[in-house]
Each structure stands twice: as C-alpha cells, then as structure tokens.
Amino acid sequence: MPVYKAPVDDSLFVLYDVLKMENYGNLAGFADAPRDLVEAVLNEGAKLCEEVLQPLNVVGDTVGCHRNDDGSVTTPPGFKEAYQQYREGGWLALSTDPAYGGQGLPVVLNAVIGEYLSSANLAWAMYPGLTQGAMAALHVHANDEIKRTYLPKMATGEWTGTMNLTEPHCGTDLGLLRTKAVPQADGSYKISGQKIFISAGEHDMSANIVHLVLARIEGAPAGTKGISLFVVPKFLPDAAGNAGSRNPVSCGKIEEKMGIHGNSTCVMNYDGATGWLVGQENKGLAAMFVMMNEARLSVGLQGLSQSEVAYQNAVAYARDRLQGRSLSGPKAPDKPADPIIVHPDVRRTLMTMRAINEAGRALVLWTALAADVHHRSTDAAERQKADDHLGLMTPVVKGVLTDLGFDNAVKAQQMYGGHGYINEWGMGQFVRDARITMIYEGANGIQALDLVGRKLGANGGRAVMAFFGEVGAFCAQHKDDAALGPFVAALSKGLKDLQSATMWFMQNAMAKPDNAGAGSTPYMHLFGLVALGYMWARIAKAANERIAAGSDEERMKAKLATARFFFEQMLPETAAHLARISAGADSMMALPAEMF
C-alpha cells in the first residue's frame, strides 16, 4: 500500500527561506497569516490529506464512480464523507474574498494545500479544485447578483463548480463549438447542446452543481469571436437562494478511463437549460480564461503532486529492496544483498525526481505569490509585473511540471522492477493518474505553442525580458560567491541557451511559422530547465544562509547536494534543446502526409 507524508517542512523552507514571504506583509491578507498561523494551517491540512484522503486514493481507483439509471452519479465509498470533513474545515475558501464568505488568506497557501490534496488523492481533489476555478471566473466577470447568489454557497462547498468547454468535435479549437444560447424575455438564456469530458459534471458530494458553460448566442459570429460564458446550475436557485427546481442539464454517460477513476468525467446534455450570461456577450473566452489559467496552474501542481508521492514511495522501496552488491563493496554485509539505493543508477533516478520536486515546488509557489501580488497589490506597476510573470509562467508550470511529473511517476514505478507493474504496490495508479495532467487544460503541445506564439511576443517581449533580467542579475550578483559560483556559472550557460533560442525564433519564425511550431516543445522544456535552475540557485543561497546560521545543517546540505546534481546532470540538457530548436522545421515537415 503506498504511503504519503505531506512535505510541510519543505513548503515552509520555500515560503520563508527562499521566497521570503514575510516581505509581502503589505498585501491584503498577509498580515492575517503570521508564520505560526501558516504552520498550523499547513500541519492541519497535512493531517487531513495523510489520514483521510490518502487512504481513499486506492478505493477511488478500484471502485470508481458509478452512473445510476436516473442519471445521478455515485462517487466511491468515503468520498462524500471526506468532502464533508473538508467543508467543515473551511478549506475551500482559504484564500477566497472575505466579501463572499472566504478567509482571504494568501493564494500561495492555497497552492501549498493544493499540492498535498492532489498528492493524497488527485481524483478527489479535482472536485473542490474545479469549484475554486469556477469561483475565480465568477468573481472577476459575473455581475453582483450572480456573485451574491453563487459565491457564498460555493465558498462553503455547499455547491460545487465545473467548467464546460469541450464538445465531441471541438477540443483545442474552441472556435468550432456549437452549444447554443437563446435569449429569453427575462434576461436569461436557454442553453442547448452537448459537452463531453466534463470533470465532476455530476456527483453526490454537494447540494447543487454550478456549471460554467461556453456557448454561442443565436446569431453570434462564427469562430472564437462569437463565444459567450454562462452560469448554468443543476438546480435553479429559489427565492431564498437555495437549490430549487431541477434545470434540464443531465449526465448522459460517464467515461471509462485510464486513471483518476474517483473523478466523474461526464457527458453533459443541456436540453434548453436556463443559464445567465457571465461577463459580456461574445467575450466568453476571455472570461473563461480566468478559470482556465487558474486550472492550468492547478494542473501543473497536480503533475508535481504525483511526482512527489511517487518519489516518496520509490525511496521507501529502494531502501528496503535487497538486490546485488554495491560497486564499491558491500554496504550491508550482514544481509544477503545490499539495498538497491546503493547503486548509482538507482541514485540517478531518485536524484532526478528529487531535483524536480524541490525546485518545482519553489517554481509553483513563486508563481502563486505572483498571483497574490497581481490580485492584492495597491501598486499598479507591481501588479503589471506580477501579471506578466503569471502569463509567462502558466504554460511553463503546466506543460513542464506535468511532463516531468509523468516521467517521474514512471521512474518511481521503475524503481520497483516487476513489482511496479503489479497493482498491489499502487505505483501503476500514479502513472495512470499523472498521465491526464499532460492532456487536459490544453494538451502540453498547446501550452508550448502558447508560450512561443503568444507569451514571448506579448507587450513587445516585456515579460520574457523581465525574466531574463532577473535571472541574469542574480547570476551577476553571485558569480564570485565561493559557494554559489559554480551553480551560477551553469545557470548563466543555460540562460544563454534560452536567450539564443529566443533570438533564433525572432529571426527565423516570423517568415516561417512552422519553425516556431517545430521548436515550441523543446523551447518550453528549455525554459523550464532554466526556471528550475533559477529556483535551485535561490534554494542553494537560502540553504547556505541557514547553514551559516547553524540551522538545520543536515537537511540544508542535502539541498546543496541536490542543487549540484541538478546543475551537473540535468541543466546541460539546455544545449540539446537549443540544437533541436535551431535545426528548424524542415526535417519534421519533409514527408508528405500520405507517407506516414
């Protein structure tokens, strides 16, 4: 049976030693979150995840969700009760606006808890996760009446949320969507059409389900310019604001799928269901993007979460499993063989996972802090800088941490040899659950295109130049530092590769856009390596400071050893990515389609 321990100490190290969270005290909500409260919140969240949610992970996988003949969906045993406990703890509204019943604590804390929830039980965590995303979109774009009706109920978890974009013929290309909205005399709309793959579309955990639905108002332009966003509840709110009569929106089927069996993935049929416009007519994509961006960061976190829990189990197994002898002489001479953790190739695997997890955690929390600054700073320049950072990093966090998260789940499974392939050990579930994170919320190829095609050039390259400037300044400042110098030298080389790749696109992709498409995935990974490298350099700086202060020396030395591994063994891959990018599209576009 797999184990999981929430990495509270590491989260605190990232928040306070690396990101210096105490410096953000001017932002609303941060003064209400002194360190002792943050520690208490994280420890309490860890307890819920370790004791309640993690034991249900295998149950969710083996029992799955069941659609009943009346269209209702039963979630796996224990899911409902766990959700009740989560609601009672007030977790859903941790960082929600207090005006709508939230606690207003920093978004970054919600991200920490989000990692623990998904590590413990990814399929379960999606129910409240989607609710938080739907709340964010309503908060920014809905009118006051809709906000007053829905947000307080969602903040307590009494009602949950979903996002409805995908249709059978329309996935990445949302301009193709056909779901129709017909205006009614009272200002509402009748929504008709079919949505597929809707996560948490129907279930038995909440009293009402609030669907955010993309649809085309009759007569609206074709393509993405004619899409609007609607709020369509399963039960229409009555005069008192409670769940009233049933709206004609129903689950026609749940998908049998590879993983996340505990989450109901539904075909949703809208048969003239009543909905209300959110935001402006024909500006639905922009409104939905609030939810999509939030969800993309959460999915990046899901990738990290599966990598972390898989790593923890791989370490436990590698310490335990006796096979072969160490190349440098027996390490457990009293035993018939050494534990496999003595073998360099096993170490390479474990160090790779560890290096990604620790820097990935810092990258996610650095980005979540930018969300706090963007939403809460009173300084317009600071808000803009934070928004630039969020926009640039969203495809990197989503695409890179989910690709690497899946790779790491496979690596952890590999640690178990044949036993990793046997269900009893639970490693297969991490692989299967991690796989979806690379696909949904915009497949990773689309994240790479978003980075190269939209984010690099936005506002004259302002965001990417700021990133280059920040990393470059860190390198310049620390290049002569005896402890950090070698790390910073490697990071400077990685940064140079990234800048060269960016320049190559500027010179070669305008005239020939296939060059941008061809290099986009290597570029996203090159970017990810430099971003993780920057995190490792900052982690190493913080670790040296702690060692100098005589605090937590053993753990901090482990950080420095992992940083060294990253800079020596992983960051050099930037050169290979640059070579791929600058080779251009020709080799991959050479064959005519019929030759494949």
Ligand X SMILES: Cc1cc2nc3c(=O)[nH]c(=O)nc-3n(C[C@H](O)[C@H](O)[C@H](O)COP(=O)(O)OP(=O)(O)OC[C@H]3O[C@@H](n4cnc5c(N)ncnc54)[C@H](O)[C@@H]3O)c2cc1C
Residue number, 192 or 384, with CB nearest to ligand X:
192
Position 66: which residue type?
A: H
Of the two residues 298 and 492, which places its CB atom closer to ligand X in the complex?
A: 298
Q: Name which of 192, 426, 157, 186 is nearest 306 in CA terms.
A: 426
Residue 172 binds to ligand X (criterion: CB under 6 A): yes
Query: Closest CB to ligand X among 339 and 517?
Result: 517
**Could you say whether residue 199 binds ligand X (CB under 6 A)?**
yes
Q: How many residues sit in the footprint of ligand X (CB under 6 A)?
A: 20
Please, which residues have CB within 8 angstroms of residue 540's CB and are 6 or more apart in sequence? 483, 484, 487, 559, 560, 563
Stretch binding ligand X (CB under 6 A), from 91-99, 111-119, 161-169, 453-461: 161-169
CA distances from 374 to 106, 112, 464 (A): 12, 18, 17
Nearer to ligand X, 11 or 121 (CB): 121
Q: Which stretch binds ligand X (CB under 6 A): 3-11, 401-409, 432-440, 502-510?
A: 432-440
- Please tell me whether residue 257 binds ligand X under the rule CB under 6 A: yes
By CB under 6 A, residue 163 contacts ligand X: yes
Q: How far is the CB of 173 from ligand X (least distance, A)?
A: 6
**Residue 454 phi, psi (nearest 5):** -115, -50
Q: Which stretch binds ligand X (CB under 6 A): 39-47, 196-204, 234-242, 466-474?
A: 196-204
Nearer to ligand X by Cβ, of 24 and 150: the residue is 150
Q: Which two tokens stand for residue 172?
A: 């990445």
All residues at 6 or more sequence positions from 575 whose CB lies less than 8 Å from its CB, including other chains:
497
Residue 411 burial (CB < 10 Å; 0-12/13-18/19+)?
A: buried
The residues in 438-467 that bind ligand X, with binding defined as CB under 6 A, are: 439-443, 445-446, 449
436 binding ligand X? (CB under 6 A): yes
Cα gap 359→18, rounded to integer Å = 11
Backbone angles phi, psi at 273, to 5 degrees: -75, 145
CB 371 within 8 A of CB 301: no
Residue with tokens 């990232």: 14
CB count within 10 Å of CB 513 equals 11
Instruction: Note whether 91 binds ligand X by CB under 6 A.
Output: no
Q: Which of 407, 396, 416, 412 is nearest to 434 (CA)?
A: 407
Question: Is the CB of 202 or the CB of 441 nearer to ligand X?
Answer: 441
Strand, helix or coil at 439? coil
Q: Is there binding between residue 60 and ligand X (CB under 6 A)?
A: no
266 touching ligand X, by CB under 6 A:
no
Indicate which single residue of 123, 155, 165, 351 sits in contact with ligand X (rule: CB under 6 A).
Answer: 165
- CA-to-CA distance for 47 and 319, rounded, in angstroms? 25
- Name the DSSP class of 14: I
Does residue 171 touch ligand X according to CB under 6 A?
A: yes
Nearby residues of 557 by Cβ (< 8 Å), 6 or more positions away: 543, 547
Residue 345 Cβ vs ligand X, minimum distance, rounded to whole Å: 32
- By beta-carbon proximity to ligand X, the closer residue of 165 and 570 is 165
Candidate residues 164, 208, 247, 306; the one interacting with ligand X per rule CB under 6 A: 164
Helix (H) or strand (E) holding 432: helix 427-437
Structure tokens given for 109: 């804390």
Q: Closer to ligand X at the Cβ: 93 or 292?
A: 292
Q: How far is the CB of 95 from ligand X (least distance, A)?
A: 22
Choice from 181, 198, 291, 529 touching ligand X (CB under 6 A): 198
Contact residue for ligand X among 54, 265, 394, 437 (CB under 6 A):
265
What is the C-alpha to C-alpha distance for residues 349 and 347, in angstroms, rounded to an integer?
Answer: 5
What is the Cα–Cα distance from 288 to 187, expressed in whole angstroms? 21
Q: Is residue 251 part of the contact set for ligand X (CB under 6 A)?
A: no
- Give 212: exposed, middle or buried? Use CB within 10 Å, 0-12, 13-18, 19+: buried
Neighbours of 337 (CB within 10 A): 15
In whole angstroms, the minimum distance from the beta carbon of 519 to ligand X comes to 13
Which positions are catalytic?
Answer: 441
Q: Least Å distance between CB 452 and ligand X?
A: 11
By C-beta, is 81 or 514 nearer to ligand X? 514
**CB of residue 12 vs ligand X: minimum separation in angstroms?**
32
Minimal distance in Å, beta carbon 63 to ligand X?
17
Q: Binding segment for ligand X among 195-203, 228-236, 311-319, 388-396 (CB under 6 A)?
A: 195-203
Shortest Å, Cβ 265 to ligand X? 4
Instruction: Say how far apart CA 10 and CA 7 lie, in whole Å.
Output: 5
Look up residue 135 and give its amino acid: M
The DSSP letter of residue 210 is: E
In angstroms, rounded to a whole number, what is the distance separating the alpha carbons of residues 383 and 367? 13
Q: Least distance to ligand X from the beta carbon of 259, Å?
A: 8
Residue nearest to ligand X (CB): 171
Q: Which is nearer to ligand X, 252 or 445 (CB)?
A: 445
Is 521 an interacting residue with respect to ligand X (CB under 6 A)?
Answer: no
What span, in angstroms and rounded, lies between the C-alpha atoms of 258 and 512?
Answer: 38
Structural element, H or E, at residue 471:
helix 462-478
Does 212 interact with ligand X (rule: CB under 6 A)? no
> Least CB distance from residue 374 to ligand X, whole Å?
24
Q: Is residue 394 part of the contact set for ligand X (CB under 6 A)?
A: no
Q: What residues line the site for ligand X (CB under 6 A)?
A: 163-166, 171-172, 197-199, 257, 265, 436, 439-443, 445-446, 449
